[in-house]
Amino acid sequence: MQFSSKIFSKADISHPKQLKAGLSTLLAQSTDCLVLAYSKLDLEAFGAPKAKSGLLSELDLLLGGSVTHANLVGDLDGQSASVCNLRADKSWALSGTKAKRILLICLGDTAKAPERNLNAYSKIARAALKQLSGGSIQNALWFVPSFAMGHRVDFIAEEVRLTIQYAGDQAYRFGVRQPALKFKAKDKADTFNYLTFAGNDACAKEMRAAVLEGAAIVEGMHLAKDLGNLPPNICTPTYLGKTAQGLSKKTGLKVEVLGRKQIEALGMGSFLSVAQGSDMPPQFIVMRHQGGKVGEAPIVLVGKGITFDTGGISLKPGEAMDEMKYDMCGAASVIGTMYTAALLKLKKNVIGVIPTCENMPSGQATRPGDIVKSMSGQTIEILNTDAEGRLILCDALTYVERFKPKAVIDVATLTGACIIALGHVHSGVFSDDEGLVSALTKAGCASLDTVWRLPLDAAYHEQLKSNFADVANIGGRPAGSVTAACFLSRFTEKYKWAHLDIAGTAWKSGAAKGATGRPVPLLVNYLLGQ
């Protein structure tokens, strides 16, 4: 899917005197489909007995009565997200119309919704994109100002990024992106593959930037989805390391991949305790985007990279265990976000850190009751080997102290308890830093990749007490996602930190099974906002 922007200086349909000229400019563009939005008020004005002007009336005149015909047969509706397809006929050529189709989509009653609502816009955008996909339309011209509903220009950037995010999501086909593997030969690319965003001078700067940002977010999401969807016999820790190194050849990213001996030398006993049951060697990946000033404190992203999680000796039930290939979606999202940051050449320093290994049962595997020493020096009693994500993350969180970070955000498919608490709508966010929580919440709202704050009270630490070590790796069934975050917090006292539990949002099950690419949009929007 390709995205671009185009500016038509005089294409202003918000003022009656410029309406005809603006529409004429748009209709004269060669495109498979011109996408325009109208409101319920526009429709009511069009249907009024003495209607002389207005968006639909002027468009009707230029199209030789096509809008009137659509209205008479009931194709026009005042409900939000309702769509109407107009197809070219001989009369269109008389007005110089080159568009083959016009897709009209209703914004609903904008008078009753004066405040901007990104959720409402998302339904409208999805409805329009659905109409463009899967048919003979290959390209479309999306007139951005018609969707603005009279809101401020600076909201346009979020709407354009979100539209691109949805278009990329709709166009994603795993089999098409992995042709060499021939997993699914019947997968075919969507015929709709080129979307141009049209604007005027009033929104040109914001729209151009948003198109570039949105396209880069889609690239990062697609990479994260690919990594998540790949089978675990291919997407191993070594594969993740090579993928990161491959990105360094395509971008300005600097990548370092540490092997077992280097991990041992760092004293990461907690991380290695998870890896020791597998024949696959662990990897510790460090990705650097140096876009800020020399010496500027970086933002550090840490991603959990368990490429397959059997539970270890605390073996999981067999049902749906195949979905444990998605236990590295935290790592995938960090790699995807770093790729996006490099593509955008963000003017800030960002570091991605990924501890990655398998969690397998074997004669060498860690047992429940074992005690290991973390890189921080704290000892951990492993009561359940299926609570392994925190064991690899804690050493990574100690490692990143050396960067003197501005903030650290770890991303992990950490607990099933978070799915019970929040379902598949919000990712859980845990932090004692109000500014960091606020920034992540705002970024989530701007991308509709939302988070919900869960507690991190000191009282929950009582559940992690051990008679034999400094801390136990689980605190029992009550508040499982909270005690997991509390465990991690013990290793983050030297910097600002937030934990994202994406167990409910990183992938979908059932007929729509597959990685979602979340929280790449959230993380990128957070970085853009810093």
Stretch 345-357: mean pLDDT: 98
Question: Would you give the DSSP letter of residue 114?
Answer: -
Tens digit of pLDDT for each residue in 60-91?
Answer: 999 999 999 999 999 999 999 999 999 999 88
User: From the candidates 316, 453, 496, 508, which is the catalytic residue?
Assistant: 316
Tokens, residue 469: 């070590």
DSSP string, 293-320: -TTPPPEEEEE-EEEEE--TTSPPPSTT
The distance from CA 488 to its chain's CA centroid, rounded to whole angstroms, is: 24
Query: Does residue 192 surpass a pLDDT of 60?
Result: yes
Told to judge if 465 belongs to the known catalytic residues of this protein, a careful annotator would answer no
Stretch 502-526: mean pLDDT: 97
- The CA-CA-CA angle for residues 284, 243, 440, to 5°, reads 70
Residues 6+ positions from 26 with CB-CB distance below 8 Å: 8, 11, 34, 36, 99, 141, 143, 198
pTM value?
0.96
Residue 51's pLDDT is what? 58
Tokens, residue 153: 């220009």
Q: Residue 428 — pLDDT band, cuts 50, 70, 90?
A: very high
Kindly list the distances between the CA atom of residue 489 and the CA atoms of 408, 498, 511, in Å, as whole numbers in the listed order.
11, 9, 37
CA distance 486 to 431: 10
Q: Residue 186 — pLDDT band, cuts 50, 70, 90?
A: confident
Tokens, residue 392: 């690899």
Q: Residue 93 — pLDDT band, cuts 50, 70, 90?
A: confident
User: From the candidates 101, 348, 390, 490, which is the catalytic residue?
Assistant: 390
Tens digit of pLDDT for each residue in 240-283?
Answer: 999 999 999 999 999 999 999 999 999 999 999 999 999 999 99
Told to judge if 17 belongs to the known catalytic residues of this protein, a careful annotator would answer no
CA distance 382 to 373: 11
| Rg over CA atoms, the chain | 26
